[in-house]
Structure 1
Amino acid sequence: MSFQRFDDPAGGGDHAARLADLRGQMKALGLDAFIIPRADAHQGEYVAEADARLAWLTAFTGSAGFAVVTETRAGVFIDGRYRVQVRGQVDLTQFTPVNWPETRPSDWLQEALPQGGRVGFDPWLHSRKEIETMEAALGGSIAMIAVEANPVDAIWQDRPALPVGAARIHPEDLAGESAGQKRARLAAELKAAGQAAALLTLPDSISWLLNIRGSDLPRNPVVQSFAVLSDSGQVSLFADPAKFSPEVRAHLGNEVAILHAEALPAALTDLEGPVRLDPASAPEAAFRILEAAGTAIARGPDPAVLPKARKNAAELAGMRAAHLRDGAAMVRLLAWLDAQDPAALTEIDVVRQLEAFRREAGIIDISFETIMGSGPHGAIVHYRVSEASNRRLAPGELLLIDSGGQYADGTTDITRTVALGEAPQEAVAPYTAVLRGMIALSRARFPKGVAGAHLDALARQFLWSEGLDFDHGTGHGVGAALCVHEGPVRISRASDMALEAGMILSNEPGYYREGSFGIRIENLVAVTQAEAEPGRTMLGFETLTICPIDRRLIDLRALSRDERIWLDAYHAQVREALSPLLEGEALAWLDEATAPLQD
């Protein structure tokens, strides 16, 4: 059975009728508007089917965005990644795409409700920071109303059940530290800060802390749960007890109590403070429960977020090993693809073949829905092929392959853009500019304290010089055998988080020409110590991804000497690392694909 499904991602349905039903619920509640986020109570990018309210209501399936519905308007707010996709998914007679963050929801609401009004929201689905930002922007002209019951849930008659996926142990030799050591380390931090406990709401933080992995969500091996970590190192874990086998319970030990998820509100009421809550990720509802109980709240970051982002030696070793096997699977796919007649293949054919090679390499799951965008589909940044959209490949086009695997020891995410036959000439200049930006970031050396915002322009400079750009961040954090998108670090103009040794990020500049093609080249990189003069700390990047880059699309005249040296050295590394894992046609293809550049 395939990991990836190819049915209609929105699941079909009468979205106009659903919108009308929601407006009926809003009227009954005395609301002039209601906000429907993509996120669940854990502020997750990937949500269970039971929490996919935005997709159910609007048909939009992107991993970021939200809708705001009034009596006469329904705006679907999307960023630059989804502006093509949203128009192909939502009923444009009912829903209006809104470019966000260029248009703030507060400005949209003040235009839609010029006389003021009441805007409802589910306090479990929004963070305290999100609500405070909205209220400040509205300036008191419009009231934000927390609802006790979500009106979308009230009209969703066939809503799926919440997942009860089995938890499993993440071995200590891969984690590099026992769960007890992690709990003690974070508890000592709480005690030193004078905080009695911390509420953890991010499932990847909890899974990392307890050295467990889960199967509640496709693609993300986390246990959907909440947890309270006390300053003594004890943990109350709020999740369906059915997820935990006797073996996993024994691994968790007596210091971890498993409680039903429904017990969380009462447990919060009973806590003695100060309790640390992260306003950027903890639900608004949790703040309200503690405030109503008179419990002191200490605002602060999730205590696991930064330790999780700083991978230790064992986690880095696991990631390297996973990328080696994944690189061999990718080479087998690219060699197979070059040997086929493109016109005999569809996008789904290539997705299935790649998954077959990754299964042989040992994946537990794919790390996200494979993006297999041929021709104009490549310009849809997060394109997901379905039976309805499936397109036959064509010679002379580009194929954008963005994919990854979840292995027991690591998580991969790689993008390669390849020419199907002869390279289209109009793609050569932007492809070369994207490649040069990727190389510039790969070669970067920078002092301690530099953030992703400082590095983002390195990847865009050659596109900018030609009047081009891309509407997504250059890089996101990646977990070690965890979520393929991991906070808090990013390479983006919006990120002021300093990079630190051990952090793993993607390096993925791109270019997209709507209706024609898309280009993206992505490697994962680990932040490492770099050589520096005495008294100064410098950092750089180690490239983890091991796979050739298509050279048929490169304008070699545009490459500098240093860029050519980097690319030849990278390909030599790829050839040396992967040759022992390949044979036959795949090995011959690898030798040719990684040969030194020649004019």
Structure 2
Amino acid sequence: MTHQIQNFDVKGGPQYGRQNLPKIREALDAAGLDGFIIPHEDEYNNEYLPDYAERLSWATGFTGSAGAAIVMKDRAAVFVDGRYTAQVKVQVDGKLFDYADLDPGVAGWIREHARKGERIGYDPRLHSPDAMARIQDAADRAGAELVSLDTNLIDRAWDDQPEPPRTPVSVHPVEFAGEDHESKRTRIGDSIKDDGADAAVLTDPTSIAWLLNVRGNDVERSPLPLASVILEADGRVSLFIEPSKLDDEVRSHLGNAVSIRDESEFADGLAELASKTVRVDPGSSSVWVFDTLNAAGAKVQRKADPVALPKACKNAAEVEGSRQAHVRDGAAIVRFLHWLDTEAQSGDVDEITAAQKLEEIRKANPELKDLSFETISGAGPNGAHPHYRVNTDTNLKLEKDSLYLVDSGGQYRDGTTDITRTVPIGQPTAEMRRHFTLVLKGHIALSRVRFPQGITGSQLDALAREPLWAAGLDYDHGTGHGVGSYLGVHEGPQRISKALNAIALKPGMILSNEPGFYLLGSYGIRIENLQVVTEPEEIPGGDRKMLGFETLTMAPIHKGLIDTTLLSPTEMAWLDAYHATVRQRIAPLVDGEVAAWLEEACRPLTGATP
């Protein structure tokens, strides 16, 4: 996988809608339609999209990671969630598009605004069956007709649309995977059979990459090949992929039990499942998959992707790989934090320079394959936007007596990293230190917790928020997401959040621990480590075994932002022990001024020698 340099040029903007809305309406006329629905999602439900699939951005100018639009002959609307209410007004021309909330979204708009008899097209490959059912109900209520299209209307209008990626697939060695793909296929096939199905359809690229021990470069910041799979209950696989992506080494690796077919044959492969019971995940596969199977006479079993949970529970090799990746990445972070504490204190450094510096330091390690996502580099008020992405228009300097928030990660063959640190530029105020310490208290509580088997992330979420809640404060994002093993930086099915999640935490699951606080117009604070769920252990005097977390991320938490009067002795002991571990593992990898800085950054709060 080739490392892709982060681009800070302004993307999107109102000119996209002005230029392309007329083209879309010409395509509507040619197709005999009154409107077309444009979701953010691509055919594989990817978080990060290949260039050819940036249809929403092309049509509207909006570049956020969640959204949708509907274009009618005489009106249009764009839908975003609360993260993007300010961004959408900058990027999308309000004279051309109405701004609306993603919930109730397209379905709500159609219910309220569609006219009787209007024909509204959609691409069935880009919608989940549940989402489409809501839109169909809304259309029925409005008296409008939904029209399924064989070719996406945006693809017809987009005259210079990039080609789909055709990057080479590579073998992910068993030394990193910890299990060969024959064993995985057999194991997952057995689970499909146990659930009464004959086969499962997989359209999530992360599931396919994990199952077959392959990686690719089709998706930005995620080492994924775009493909689809039919997995039989006996472990045999039909892989639908552009054949030119596979060289002799990969074909030999896949072996005879994996049948390689052109991706254009996927519909035929689904039709061949006629009369069989087929497991399909409505959360990751499109309504087109369900419609194609139903038309063929297959019995569709709506059930979660059978790979998702096994993939989330990392084996010993994957956990050890993550430890090693975090030490390697931690050395880069320490060099960057030293730079922030020295050269970047001048007040002349800006957000882009800081992000480029971090990327330069990471890239010095030849084992880095790519960033795991675009770096969030937020100075002062920009740090108050949790999903902020710096560009040349928003770039601020790291000013004196302010806070700087940096959220970043790397992709290594043995693991994926994701870390957030908040640091002071100049002297922090008492208010900054208080807010930071409340966030730290929640972070420590979620790091230290022990819990019985069967507990979900939703049940643990309040631990990270309680210190903030006690002060009348909160944050509006989840506390933790799953992380892949040289896969996506965001992985399910587990998570830690207020939202109900029924997936129990299991040994080997890697999750983030990232409580925060955001004072709009002033600063943002977030502390994020990755941690892995440990094996259940007996506690002396207890009556059942308990799971816990092992922290993987290795980088100091800035002591200059801590109000120690707000920490308990137990919390201080946790931080001192964590810093002692960071010092032990990272010190051999740095020298000179950086080593001296690390020594001081990891010195116990009590002042004793580590």
TM-score by shorter chain over 0.5: yes
Q: Which amino acid aligns with 1:510?
A: G
Query: What corresponds to 1:493 in structure 2?
Result: 498
Q: Which amino acid aligns with 1:131?
A: M
Contact 1:11-1:56 within 8 A present in 2 as well: no
The aligned runs of 1:110-121 (5 Å cut-off) are: 110-113=111-114, 117-121=118-122
Query: What corresponds to 2:571 in structure 1?
Result: 563
Asked whether 1:519 is paired with 2:520, we answer no
Greater shift, 582-591 or 468-477, is seen at 468-477
Contact 2:202-2:208 within 8 A present in 1 as well: yes
Q: Cα gap change, 1:95/1:561 in structure 2, threshold over 3 Å: closer, same or farther?
A: farther
The aligned runs of 1:350-389 (5 Å cut-off) are: 350-361=354-365, 362-389=367-394
Query: What corresponds to 2:307 in structure 1?
Result: 304
Q: Secondary structure at the match of 2:559?
A: coil
Q: Secondary structure at the match of 1:489?
A: strand
Greater shift, 572-581 or 115-124, is seen at 115-124
Contact 1:130-1:280 within 8 A present in 2 as well: no
Q: Secondary structure at the match of 2:444?
A: helix
Contact 2:199-2:279 within 8 A present in 1 as well: yes
Q: Secondary structure at the match of 2:387?
A: coil
Contact 2:13-2:90 within 8 A present in 1 as well: no
Q: Which amino acid aligns with 2:331?
A: A
Tell me how far 1:150 sits from its aligned partner: 1.5
Query: What corresponds to 2:298 in structure 1?
Result: 295
CA–CA distance in 1 between the matches of 2:33 and 2:199? 36
Aligned identity (percent) is: 48
Name structure 1 gaps, 5 residues minimum. Answer: none
Contact 2:16-2:61 within 8 A present in 1 as well: no
Contact 2:338-2:594 within 8 A present in 1 as well: yes
CA–CA distance in 2 between the matches of 1:475 and 1:275? 32
Q: Cα gap change, 1:11/1:359 in structure 2, threshold over 3 Å: closer, same or farther?
A: farther
Query: What corresponds to 1:502 in structure 2?
Result: 508
Query: What corresponds to 1:107 in structure 2?
Result: 108
**Given the alignment, which residue of 339, 345, 350 partners 1:346?**
350
Query: What corresponds to 1:279 in structure 2?
Result: 282
Contact 2:334-2:594 within 8 A present in 1 as well: yes
**Given the alignment, which residue of 262, 265, 268 partners 1:263?**
265
CA–CA distance in 2 between the matches of 1:81 and 1:357? 30
Query: What corresponds to 2:219 in structure 1?
Result: 217
Q: Can you list the C-alpha shifts for 1:360-408, whole angstroms capped at 9, x where unaligned?
A: 2321100001111111221222222223333222111111100000001
Q: Cα gap change, 1:462/1:104 in structure 2, threshold over 3 Å: closer, same or farther?
A: farther
CA–CA distance in 1 between the matches of 2:385 and 2:411? 24
Alignment: residue pair count: 598
The aligned runs of 1:143-158 (5 Å cut-off) are: 143-158=145-160
Q: Which amino acid aligns with 2:353?
A: D
Q: Can you list the C-alpha shifts for 1:492-547, whole angstroms capped at 9, x where unaligned?
A: 22222221111111111122222222211111111112434666342221111111
Greater shift, 490-499 or 153-162, is seen at 490-499
CA–CA distance in 1 between the matches of 2:555 and 2:85? 30
CA–CA distance in 2 between the matches of 1:213 and 1:2? 16
Query: What corresponds to 2:71 in structure 1?
Result: 69
Q: Secondary structure at the match of 2:58?
A: helix
Q: Which amino acid aligns with 1:289?
A: T
Query: What corresponds to 1:578 in structure 2?
Result: 586
Q: Can you list the C-alpha shifts for 1:8-60, whole angstroms capped at 9, x where unaligned?
A: 23288431232243244345545454321111111111110000111112222
Greater shift, 400-409 or 356-365, is seen at 356-365
Q: Can you list the C-alpha shifts for 1:340-359, whole angstroms capped at 9, x where unaligned?
A: 14323222221121112212
Q: Cα gap change, 1:14/1:107 in structure 2, threshold over 3 Å: closer, same or farther?
A: closer
Contact 2:313-2:506 within 8 A present in 1 as well: yes
CA–CA distance in 2 between the matches of 1:110 and 1:192? 42
Query: What corresponds to 2:247 in structure 1?
Result: 245
CA–CA distance in 2 between the matches of 1:428 and 1:16? 46
Contact 1:434-1:463 within 8 A present in 2 as well: yes
Contact 1:84-1:380 within 8 A present in 2 as well: no
Greater shift, 569-578 or 13-22, is seen at 13-22
Q: Secondary structure at the match of 2:422?
A: strand
Q: Cα gap change, 1:18/1:425 in structure 2, threshold over 3 Å: closer, same or farther?
A: farther
Q: Secondary structure at the match of 2:10?
A: coil
Query: What corresponds to 1:122 in structure 2?
Result: 123
Contact 2:13-2:62 within 8 A present in 1 as well: no
CA–CA distance in 2 between the matches of 1:393 and 1:49? 32
Tell me how far 1:121 sits from its aligned partner: 2.0
Q: Which amino acid aligns with 1:354?
A: L
Greater shift, 225-234 or 316-325, is seen at 225-234
Tell me how far 1:100 sits from its aligned partner: 3.7
Query: What corresponds to 1:408 in structure 2?
Result: 413
**Given the alignment, which residue of 335, 338, 344 partners 1:335?**
338
CA–CA distance in 2 between the matches of 1:498 and 1:97? 38
Q: Secondary structure at the match of 1:567?
A: helix
Q: Can you list the C-alpha shifts for 1:187-240, whole angstroms capped at 9, x where unaligned?
A: 122223332211110001000000011111121001110011112211111111
CA–CA distance in 2 between the matches of 1:578 and 1:346? 27
Tell me how far 1:139 sits from its aligned partner: 6.6
**Given the alignment, which residue of 320, 323, 326 partners 1:323?**
326
CA–CA distance in 2 between the matches of 1:429 and 1:139? 54
Greater shift, 297-306 or 125-134, is seen at 125-134
CA–CA distance in 1 between the matches of 2:359 and 2:109? 43
Asked whether 1:449 is paired with 2:454, we answer yes
CA–CA distance in 2 between the matches of 1:342 and 1:530? 49
The aligned runs of 1:199-210 (5 Å cut-off) are: 199-210=201-212
Q: Secondary structure at the match of 1:588?
A: helix
Q: Secondary structure at the match of 1:185?
A: helix
Q: Secondary structure at the match of 1:430?
A: helix
